Amino acid sequence: MVAARLVDSSSDVLAAVVLDAAGGMVDTAGVEPDRARELADLARRLVERADAVSKDPVEQIEVQTARRGLFAVRDTRHVLACVTRRLALPALVLYDLRHALGELTSA
């Protein structure tokens, strides 16, 4: 599905998760099932917290740590989040996420 294509098509994307509008996990790739639930929970909380400090719903998120990056994009139906290598190019990752989100929307 979309998460697997995202992980397979980018050497920088290590794991990906797709959530539905209610926050339920729809698809995952690149992680074991128990870690997938953790990634889904992290993505859900990240979107909730970003929305809590913004007057409008946040459409994209980028977080960088010393070792990894976390990116998320969303529309009204899905959240697509991924973990990347530290030096992944943010513009490229966000482009790939938006493209994959478009696949979900058109499905």
Terminus-to-terminus CA distance in the chain, angstroms? 11
Kindly report whether the global pTM for this prediction surpasses the value 0.85.
yes
Please tell me the predicted confidence (pLDDT) of residue 61.
96
29, 50 in Cβ contact below 8 A? no
Please, what sign has the CA dihedral across residues 26, 32, 36, 37?
A: positive
Q: Which residues of the chain have pLDDT under 50?
A: none
Q: Tell me how far apart the alpha carbons of residues 96 and 71 are, in angstroms, rounded to a whole number.
A: 11
pLDDT at 76: 92
The residue behind tokens 């959240």 is 79
